[in-house]
Structures are given as C-alpha cells and as structure tokens.
A = this chain, B = another copy of it.
C-alpha cells in the first residue's frame, strides 16, 4: 500500500497532466461497462487518474464526453478497413474472407467489442449519435461489402442477389460475436474464441452465395 498520508491535502494541488485521449479511454472503459446513465464521472475520473473537475477542462458535460467518445472511434477504424480493400486484387470470396477476419481482429477481439454494445444501448437516448454511427460506420462498412459482393456477382463468382442484403449477412455473425463476447463471455470460465464460428460463417456463406 502506498502511504500518502503524509501529503497534506491542500486544495488545487495539481498532480497529473491529463490528456484528452486518456480521458476518453477511461470514459470508454466505464461507459461500456455501465452504460451512459449508470456510469459515474467519479469512476471515469478515478479510472483516468484525475479529479472529476479535470474532466471539465476538456469536455463541457458528461454528454459531451460520450459524444466525443463516439466520434473519436468512428472514422479511423473504417478508414483502416477501406485501406485493406483498396489494394486487393484477389477474388471477391478471398476478399470477403479477409475482411471478416480484419473486422474480427479490430472489433471482436479487441476491447472495441464493447463499442457496438454501447451504441445499441444508447441509440434511443442519443439518436443523433446513432445516426452518426450508422452513416459514418455501419453504412460505410456495409457499402464496402456490398461493393465487393457486386464485383463477385459481375464476375460470375456469386449468384445474383441483392448486394446490400448480402452485405448484412456478412456482418451479422460478426455482430453476434461481439455481442456474445460482451454479454455472456465476461463471466465465463472458458474463454470465448470467435474464430471457429467466423470460419464456418465464411465457408458457409461463400458456398451459399456461389
């Protein structure tokens, strides 16, 4: 235990230099654990190692923290995915398989798996953020997938289907995995491994689309 009893508790003594990213990271941990409403800024501050008041140096309200959090997570990851696709030359099937694995790595296997849960939980309380997430993340990813599927159809690799619907079929098991992980796998003795499910998913889907 660290003995800090000898430090006089004087008001206003600065202890730590806070960075907004660190604050958002702490907020993400607390918000995704508790949800927006049940999360306390006390917890966010403690998690970030700063005082509650310090949060207000960078964000003007609890809601502003949440909004900044969603916005900060929106763009970069999608752009990473689009980068994957741009340079690829293989078949549509191979590209789909690779994308599913890439998304799994980013979303399902990292801590970001809590993000969909957070959006799902708070969509009706923050419709603007839901719309932002939908247009800037979900529909962009779905568009990317639809484009690949259309390419596969045009090349005769896939049978004719609505590419936008098929794109949703690609995504669904990924969403399932992320949710399973955050909902059920937390208190589970055996660790949750999405790989076999996703492997079967791609195999089955590609057969089904062929």
Using a CB–CB distance below 8 Å, which chain A residues touch chain B? 33-38, 117, 119-125, 127, 130-131, 134, 138, 161-162, 165-166, 168-169, 171-173, 175-176, 179, 182-184, 186-187, 196-197, 200-201, 203-210
Contact = CB atoms under 8 A, between A and B. Distances in A.
Per assembly, the copies of the chain total 4
Contacts of A138: 184
A124 B169 contact: no
A161 to B, nearest CB: 6
A150 B142 CA distance: 32
Contact of A121 (B121, B168, B208): B121
Interface of A is mostly: helix
17 contacts: A33-B124, A35-B37, A36-B38, A120-B179, A120-B182, A120-B183, A131-B184, A161-B200, A165-B196, A165-B197, A165-B200, A172-B172, A175-B179, A204-B205, A205-B208, A207-B207, A207-B208
B168 A176 contact: yes
B123 A183 contact: yes
A119 B37 CA distance: 16
Contacts of A201: 169, 172
A165 B206 CA distance: 16
A176 B184 contact: no
A123 B182 contact: yes
Contact of A117 (B120, B176, B207): B120
A176 B116 CA distance: 11
A130 B183 CA distance: 7
A187 B127 contact: yes
A172 B38 CA distance: 28
Top 4 A-B pairs, shortest CB-CB distance? A208-B208, A121-B121, A204-B208, A37-B38
Contacts of A120: 117, 120-121, 179, 182-183
A125 B38 contact: yes
